A and B are shown apart, each in its own frame.
Chain A
Amino acid sequence: MAKMHTPAMEKIEKKNKRRKKPVNSTPAYEAWKRFRRNKTAILGLVVVCLLILVAIFAPLIAPYDYTAQDYTAMMQAPSAAHIFGTDAFGRDIFSRVIYGTRYSLVIALFCTIAALFSGGLLGIIAGYFGGKVDTIIMRIMDIFQAIPMIMMAMCIVSVLGNGIPQLVAAVMFASMPTMARNNRAAILRVRGSDYIESSEAIGVGQVQMILKHMIPNAAGVMIIFFVGFLAVSIMMMSSMSYIGVGLAAPTPEWGLILNDGKAYITSAPYMMFFPALMIMITCFAFNLMGDGLRDAFDPKSK
């Protein structure tokens, strides 16, 4: 790419000179620049980082054992001793919500990685090889897509039973078609570009081609869906816990805490408020971040 001399570019040059190591204007760096300008997206990123810290340091933050019941302190409204109050078993809701960050984030991460590895990989293969492979994979995905996502997930969990592996499997299968489609589209876009064609011409191996050239170039779009899907899987999990096909009690997953509290929505709303707030903040942060990433990696869609 020929260097242009626009005022903006000069500014970047200057900035780069000021740094010890000059930063090349890679697509990722460009994206990061666009992302950084997006205040709402940065807010999302900050919140997500905070949540990750909370998850890591949960034992230090939580004042009580999240399973400890205390029938002398049942259903207490928020106070200095229990800042989020206690639930119907005298458990400290704050501690449960804090530990819940661990469970909810980690499970959501598992779900998303599983979805990316199954659906994503299928999409990449379909997009790369095209032709018959593409047709077969995508027709199979059409079949999966015919069943609404949450219904599919619930059917799977109801048949396989409650538990984290079952939940991850359910979300994975349910999200496979969407994931495959998105990744296929990302690969197709890259596939059309000149350098892939020239790499092919000089005989780069197919696996190497996918790993070294296609995936890194399609990564931006994949990251967008990765982050977005974290929010989707947290929502799905909480809905499933609400119906009773999520995880088994007393796991402090947010959906389950919410489910425990829903009995008291009119009489002790704080029991539901805090876990709902956490789900909301988390999904909101992921969504904001995802939206910022979309603008950053895929400015044309704006």
Chain B
Amino acid sequence: MNMKKVLSLVLVSAMTLTMAATAFAEEAGGLSGANCDPANTAKTDETLTIGFGSEPSTLVGTATGNTENESMMIFSALTDNLVAYNSLTGEIEPQLATEWEWVDDTHCKFTLRDDVTMSDGTPFVADDVVFSVKMWRDQNATNETGSIFTECADPVADDEHTVTIEFTSNAPDIIRMLTWTNYGIVSEDEVNAAGGFEEVGKNPAVGSGPYKFVSWTNGQSVVIERNEEYWNQDYAGYYKQIVFTFTSDPAARIMAVQSGDADVAYAIPTAQASTFQANEAVKVVNYTFDQVNHLWFNMGENAGATADQKVREAIDKALDYDAINAVGSAGLTAPALGYFVEGNPNYNEVYTTEERAVDIEGAKALLEEAGYGDGLTIRALGLSDIEPVYVVMQANLAQAGITLELDIPDTAQFVGQAAGGDYDIIIVGEYAAARFPSIFIFFQNAYTFCIGGPKWTTDEINAKIHDFIFAEDQESATQIGKEFEEMMKESCIQTNLFPAVNSAVTNPALKGFNTLERGFMDPTGFYKE
């Protein structure tokens, strides 16, 4: 069992993907540190302190349709999912469900464990799954989480340990989506005890996960403690307590690690983290996670100049992708030539390096044609950890006569504005590890709460995406994906920047930096030797 745990902690996709880069990365001290330590089953009474940049507005995002990264990572420690993803084998494995089977095109029957206890001490039963699915569906009708259940009938508890769930489709990778943090199981009693959907986010005594919620001191910290009765002792936490603190300044977060106050400084801009490579007092962790950062042009209802293809192409030409990559990923990866990360089964190289070269004159000519010869101001919306990339773009675009205004709010505000299409350009990546039913989410009309993207689509695009998701085999999927990427390139809907790299700075003795989906850090896997 322990061996299995060891293996499952290694993200196979990350491995294959970074193999090529590793040789280069080794000397630069580059991409390393995540998902590479053997697991540990020991326990300690010590406390782990994790420094986050932003304080979430809720700790149970799916209760109110609000998903912030920090919230998801804390939530992941409190709850279990029906199924888990094994990165090495690429298999979906049992977690709260022991087995599952498709009954028909849209119904799947799950058999549940009978030895699990929820945070309030009651046993885990099928009704908890029924309640959770209804919560995902009803509270998240406009976002990704709810989309796979939208307009489906209530799940049915066949008996205490069997439940049948209806999905919108039987897309090949739909069950893999259930391994995401969003789909942590909570019980109705727990949510009611906390005071309902609005309140449970403030007092999340929920779930059957390896940790239990202790307290949330607003503006300061969230404390969780090890669930001593956790059903899966192989994955029990090493640390007795985990404290999440919130310090917006990344430099201050790093200093907290240097001074020994904190063990992990999460979400450090990669360029900033890489300046600590040679510092022995800390360890730098950089990793990619099946996500390319894309620059999306707003083409929707409230789009400005970017509704004009010439403007989009001008921006595309004026950008210096090497410089953006040098700042965005500290040169740890190469500028992306396709929508997917190199190594992803759906990867296609649709751009050549020559096409990505800077062409200021070309950009100016296009702007002239579009009627913006004497200048143009566009507004970029972004998160602070990607701000350096915007600063590079600002300088690039200035050469072509475009003034780029930066709008860098905090996470919660960003989510609201990005969902509402309140920007001209936005950098967001899509987690595209598999052909999830929500893939190419930025085009799918079902998601009114979609953070970024062009806010625009056509029937042709939607048909292509549908074909891609339901393609029978990988080969045809890759081919359809390529056709779709060509379409995007043709209309200049977005431009691929560089594979997203997450960085953190940790205590040098700390091991077990593991990631969940979307590169989220798993707070429960850490240990020391």
Contact = CB atoms under 8 A, between A and B. Distances in A.
Interface stretch (B65-73, B133-141, B201-209, B268-276): B268-276
A74 interface: yes
Interface stretch (A101-109, A130-138, A265-273): A265-273
Interface in B341-390: 388
B392 to A, nearest CB: 6
B472 to A, nearest CB: 44
B271 A69 contact: no
A267 B391 contact: no
Contact of B406 (A71, A248, A262): A248
Given A249-B406, A263-B269, A89 B251 contact: no
A263 B391 contact: no
A75 B275 contact: yes
Nearest to B398: A67
A248 B323 CA distance: 22
Contacts of A250: 391, 394-395
A88 B394 contact: no
Contacts of A266: 251, 254-255, 258, 276, 279
A264 interface: yes
A82 to B, nearest CB: 16
Contact of A74 (B254, B255, B326, B398): B326
Interface in A245-267: 248-250, 262-267
Given A249-B406, A250-B394, A89 B275 contact: no
Interface residues of A, number: 19
B276 A71 contact: no
A280 B227 CA distance: 52
Nearest to B258: A266
Given A67-B398, A71-B326, A89-B395, A262 B249 contact: yes
Interface in B386-428: 388, 391-392, 394-395, 398, 405-406, 408
Interface in A227-258: 244, 248-250
B391 A71 contact: no
Contacts of B405: 248
Interface of A is mostly: loop
A103 to B, nearest CB: 17
Contacts of B392: 69, 71, 89
B322 interface: yes
Interface in A197-249: 244, 248-249
Interface of B is mostly: helix
Contact of B327 (A71, A265, A268): A71
Contacts of A68: 395
A249 B395 CA distance: 11
B322 A267 contact: no
B322 A264 contact: no
A89 B398 contact: no
Interface in A70-122: 71, 74-75, 88-89
A68 B320 CA distance: 13
A250 B392 CA distance: 10
Nearest to A260: B391
A71 B392 CA distance: 9
Interface in B264-297: 269, 271-272, 275-276, 279
B155 interface: no
Contacts of B279: 266-267
B453 interface: no
Contacts of B512: none
B146 interface: no
Contacts of B254: 266
A89 B254 CA distance: 21
A88 B327 contact: yes
A89 B391 contact: yes
B406 A74 contact: no
B454 interface: no
Nearest to B276: A267
B452 interface: no
A288 B392 CA distance: 40
A265 B406 CA distance: 24
B394 A249 contact: yes
B275 A268 contact: yes
Nearest to A242: B249
A71 B271 contact: no
Contacts of A75: 271, 275
Contacts of B272: 88, 263-264, 267
Nearest to B384: A244
A263 B250 contact: yes
A89 B271 CA distance: 10
A89 B269 CA distance: 13
A262 B251 CA distance: 7
**Most A CB within 10 A of own CB, among B250, B271, B275, B394:** B275
A26 B406 CA distance: 55
B197 to A, nearest CB: 31
B114 to A, nearest CB: 51
Given A88-B327, A89-B388, A67 B275 contact: no
Interface string A165-204: 0000000000000000000000000000000000000000
Nearest to B268: A263
Contacts of A262: 249, 251
A135 B422 CA distance: 48
B251 A264 contact: yes
Interface of A: 67-69, 71, 74-75, 88-89, 244, 248-250, 262-268
8 contacts: A69-B395, A71-B392, A88-B272, A88-B388, A89-B395, A262-B249, A263-B250, A266-B255
Top-3 shortest CB links A-B = A267-B275, A71-B323, A71-B326
